[in-house]
Structure 1
């Protein structure tokens, strides 16, 4: 079940041919269901409860080229289909099941579910990695961390035909409803089934994260109704005591087995212990490997491990929903909601309102162009994050760029401004956030494999994402209640859980980790290819690291976290390239 790679076209890879799709190779032991009739073939690879009868019936859909319908089964999986003339390849909406491809001149494209199988050297794309550190990854959903290797964005499939360039097809397939109540029943059905069909299929004890937050807690409650659960919780002197209290209460409420791991300084972030897998791409979770190794030990080897990852995206929405109101001309309603939101949090609504108006006026392309101009004008001064949502916020990473780095990132932002992406703020933001958490889950797969953990992410199933995104972002953005859709959609959850409004923070833990490992992290920065390539000023990053390690600049910690895992990841990629030469 762990090795599920596939390749197509003429990409070289050892493996087993899939029935009806003879030039598509899969890893030995991979779970796959395939059917074919003559030249028409369909395969589903991964975690999907589709029956053989349903697959046979879907061959009619393949013949008709109704590709999006092949992504509507529950679970998390890849689809490969051929009508005899064209081939359709697609992962999930979140991008956990990635599809990479590379152009081959007049020969079309080769595709694979792992970049290393495409037959090209894996050369890190340093300007893109610098841009990602500066402005976030969501402006370039089609790019991978490697030169000349593209990524099919979540929400799209790849259509291939002989002699034609590859075509990206929108398979998002969201059918909107008008209000929360209308969509809540559907969401409740699909999230319940997403959790419980996996627990039932496991046929034994399953593992689960139980952080004490709403998302993992709800998943554990649903799972306990379908089977036997062993939940694990991590805590230490720096994490939220309230989270721990909620986790204990959920375990008591459900009667499940519950192991609490009390971490020591050895489990603090940024240790990057010997033997840690480098992974396929830089992800924030790489900094937490020592913690993961410790708290997941009691559930190693179980059939699956449930997580609440992605719940924030499907259950909630950002203040982009108020920008959408302004885009729709509903200024008075937007202002009323912003003022109410600010008053509930005892903050001034003025700066928040100003930022949202600016976002609505500039739009996506205008915001990216303004960010590019700011980079080209000269060095960026680190500032506290401006309240309110923005299409493109230059973080602390922008102040670490060299002059050359600023011009490289500015060029990439201008390129992104011309790409086709949603122009409505809430739609852009929810898909960007979904792809980001999907990339995080995808990037953790090698770590899970090393730890004997098979993670599943029910909140990121296609059926769950579509049911959530069908509900307007404005309705999911609760002013008084936090994540109101959870209470509406799963009424059997206890009130004391769904009434929780707070959320734990890992800031203190990360500060302690930066302080403990500062000398080694300094070395990672100085030796980074981003520095060697002239994109990043090491003195600027080291200064920010020193301040954060002393607890003097908590606002840069998120950017430092991303910078450090990128530098660490690149150190492994550089070693691999040198070994190949």
Structure 2
């Protein structure tokens, strides 16, 4: 299934409709609707239910330069608008529909894929190493040198002889309590699923892991059309997950196919012929598993997933840092201690970490992390408990001395970047952009597997409705994902009362053990190693421990390092670039 893409640059309007956007071109697969009136043009490309009437109603906003208004429709799409000598482009809030840009002649070129920008793609090794060490503190940086990325929640405004500007299009309308926003969220999520299933007008595929997010999507889809759900299982899969998946399929009456994997489907195998993609993505390590369980739904009009549900339905412990930032010390202490006891964690050090995060703020935390990198090796066991603006874990411990100093310099630069100062706001947008990047990065794999994934939890209006609800209200101590139960009271109680969540940790440990020697060679020959940024001996020791099941805390960092090394190695071999 061909992917959609769009590309353009600084240009003036010279007509009406999509042809009025001079210099813009798109893939034949792109679904486009446009409207124009004189010097104002607006077009949407992608998955958006807005019709001609809605587009025409947005033209006055375009003429007035109110660029956020055309981004308020439901769906996941690009907006391209022009009024006078200005051109505006943005993707969705999560960044699944990304926008990249770079200087081009006297203006700026932009595109939905880096390879469409007409310049050589040179991976930015330092940014790759920095993200491994400190998370993504650079949402405006792409994986490539001299190519920028528009962060989710922003659009790009261009005009001749004027530097590009980022325009905030988040447009969150906060409510005070869970009950105030639950109904709106329920309507948005149900509508996001219903629109896609009905628009497909055929059997649709759907993931059904047994977790709350995919199970809810399947139940909503089953009310709107015919669904073929698929589930993956193997000797390491949670029996509880499988039981819930089976029960959901029986409850809804959907067709249900279960794929049973073996050693060949374990992670980190990287089968011959697996696509590389434009950026590293964790799912690259799972391609053999995806190939096995998605085969029965190959060629269907779309494939529903629960991806992103954790971000919109739940919130992180950053909500307790926000309580401290707002001066609610007693309530923050009560909730942190209650959560620590539920997790059987010593409450004292846990509480201290939250107080430190609130006192430092983002800039202070990044300066502190930079100093730690400069003063010596970072040990993974020293990673901050609770929540942190910047976690230095195992990835930081694998940096060379030169790598530590270079990453420290990048962190100091990032400390001055414009970012939300409220811990929960900063964290929820970072999490949203992360799952958006994961969905975006999986596009070439989906194309190779013959499925067209859709992500209703990442729909623009679903995200807005979720983020309107206070993060503290979405962080349930008594119930898991309380927003889901409040928003969709018709869901079965046996589903919404589930508190556990499945994991692929056992599969990843087995995959590390099976492919250990090949992975050691991959890391030793990686451009990160050749560039003097990571120490392969340090990684080798961590890999050996994880493969024996002795150090599960480093598995997430190993996973990220491995897919990054594999991706970078593929980039050095060259890849086909599509040009318009």
With normalisation by structure 2, the TM-score equals 0.97
Residue 297 of structure 1: how far off its partner (Å): 0.3
Q: Distance in 1 between matches of 2:125 and 2:549?
A: 30
Residue 39 of structure 1: how far off its partner (Å): 2.2
- Asked if residue 200 in structure 1 is aligned to residue 172 in structure 2, the reply is no
1:489-568 → structure 2 map (5 Å cutoff): 489-568=487-566
- 1:169 matched residue in structure 2: 167
- 1:486 matched residue in structure 2: 484
Q: Secondary structure at the match of 1:67?
A: coil
- 1:363 matched residue in structure 2: 361
Task: Say if 1:544 and 1:556, in contact at 8 Å, map to a contact too.
Answer: yes
- 1:14 matched residue in structure 2: none
Q: Distance in 2 between matches of 1:316 and 1:396?
A: 26
Task: Say if 2:10 and 2:158, in contact at 8 Å, map to a contact too.
Answer: no
Q: Secondary structure at the match of 1:165?
A: strand
Q: Distance in 2 between matches of 1:103 and 1:286?
A: 31
Q: Secondary structure at the match of 2:68?
A: helix
1:148-187 → structure 2 map (5 Å cutoff): 148-187=146-185
Q: Distance in 1 between matches of 2:5 and 2:304?
A: 22
- 1:71 matched residue in structure 2: 71
Q: Distance in 1 between matches of 2:130 and 2:343?
A: 33
Q: Distance in 2 between matches of 1:253 and 1:493?
A: 11
Residue 108 of structure 1: how far off its partner (Å): 2.7
Q: Secondary structure at the match of 1:501?
A: coil
- Asked if residue 115 in structure 1 is aligned to residue 102 in structure 2, the reply is no
- Asked if residue 135 in structure 1 is aligned to residue 163 in structure 2, the reply is no
- 2:4 matched residue in structure 1: 4
Q: Distance in 2 between matches of 1:91 and 1:479?
A: 34
Residue 38 of structure 1: how far off its partner (Å): 2.1
5+ long unaligned stretches in structure 1: 12-16
Task: Say if 1:19 and 1:36, in contact at 8 Å, map to a contact too.
Answer: no
Instruction: Write out per-residue CA displacement over residues 515-541 of structure 1, whole angstroms, 9 at most, x where no aligned residue.
Output: 111111111001100000000111111
5+ long unaligned stretches in structure 2: 12-16
Residue 385 of structure 1: how far off its partner (Å): 4.5
- 2:291 matched residue in structure 1: 293
Instruction: Write out per-residue CA displacement over residues 189-246 of structure 1, whole angstroms, 9 at most, x where no aligned residue.
Output: 0000000111111111000000000000001000000000000000111121111110
Aligned residues: 573
1:277-426 → structure 2 map (5 Å cutoff): 277-383=275-381, 385-426=383-424
Q: Distance in 1 between matches of 2:238 and 2:499?
A: 14
- 2:46 matched residue in structure 1: 46
- 1:436 matched residue in structure 2: 434
- Indicate how the Cα distance of structure 1 residues 382 and 3 shifts in structure 2: closer, same or farther if over 3 A, else same: closer
- Asked if residue 101 in structure 1 is aligned to residue 63 in structure 2, the reply is no
Residue 577 of structure 1: how far off its partner (Å): 7.5
Q: Secondary structure at the match of 2:36?
A: strand
Instruction: Write out per-residue CA displacement over residues 383-434 of structure 1, whole angstroms, 9 at most, x where no aligned residue.
Output: 1654310001101011110111001100110010000000000000000000
Q: Distance in 2 between matches of 1:442 and 1:376?
A: 34
- Indicate how the Cα distance of structure 1 residues 97 and 578 shifts in structure 2: closer, same or farther if over 3 A, else same: closer
Residue 104 of structure 1: how far off its partner (Å): 3.5
Q: Larger deviation: 257-266 or 24-33?
A: 24-33
Task: Say if 1:180 and 1:485, in contact at 8 Å, map to a contact too.
Answer: yes
Q: Distance in 1 between matches of 2:337 and 2:129?
A: 36
Task: Say if 1:3 and 1:28, in contact at 8 Å, map to a contact too.
Answer: no
Residue 344 of structure 1: how far off its partner (Å): 2.5
- 2:14 matched residue in structure 1: none
Q: Distance in 1 between matches of 2:451 and 2:576?
A: 31
- Within the candidate set 442, 455, 458, 1:457 is matched to 455
Q: Distance in 2 between matches of 1:39 and 1:351?
A: 60
Q: Distance in 2 between matches of 1:492 and 1:470?
A: 22
- 1:55 matched residue in structure 2: 55
Task: Say if 1:18 and 1:26, in contact at 8 Å, map to a contact too.
Answer: no
- CA-based RMSD of the aligned residues comes to 1.5
- Indicate how the Cα distance of structure 1 residues 2 and 259 shifts in structure 2: closer, same or farther if over 3 A, else same: same
- Asked if residue 124 in structure 1 is aligned to residue 157 in structure 2, the reply is no
- 1:92 matched residue in structure 2: 92
Q: Distance in 2 between matches of 1:9 and 1:90?
A: 13
Task: Say if 1:20 and 1:35, in contact at 8 Å, map to a contact too.
Answer: no
Q: Larger deviation: 29-38 or 289-298?
A: 29-38
With normalisation by structure 1, the TM-score equals 0.97
Task: Say if 1:20 and 1:34, in contact at 8 Å, map to a contact too.
Answer: no
Task: Say if 2:9 and 2:107, in contact at 8 Å, map to a contact too.
Answer: no
Q: Distance in 2 between matches of 1:365 and 1:506?
A: 34
Q: Secondary structure at the match of 1:298?
A: helix
- Indicate how the Cα distance of structure 1 residues 496 and 385 shifts in structure 2: closer, same or farther if over 3 A, else same: farther
- Asked if residue 19 in structure 1 is aligned to residue 11 in structure 2, the reply is no
Q: Distance in 1 between matches of 2:130 and 2:3?
A: 32
Q: Secondary structure at the match of 1:23?
A: coil
Q: Secondary structure at the match of 1:383?
A: helix
Q: Secondary structure at the match of 1:74?
A: coil
Residue 578 of structure 1: how far off its partner (Å): 12
Q: Larger deviation: 22-31 or 244-253?
A: 22-31
Instruction: Write out per-residue CA displacement over residues 439-476 of structure 1, whole angstroms, 9 at most, x where no aligned residue.
Output: 00000000000000100000001100000000000000
- Indicate how the Cα distance of structure 1 residues 62 and 410 shifts in structure 2: closer, same or farther if over 3 A, else same: same
Task: Say if 2:18 and 2:35, in contact at 8 Å, map to a contact too.
Answer: no
- 2:30 matched residue in structure 1: 30
- Indicate how the Cα distance of structure 1 residues 43 and 463 shifts in structure 2: closer, same or farther if over 3 A, else same: same
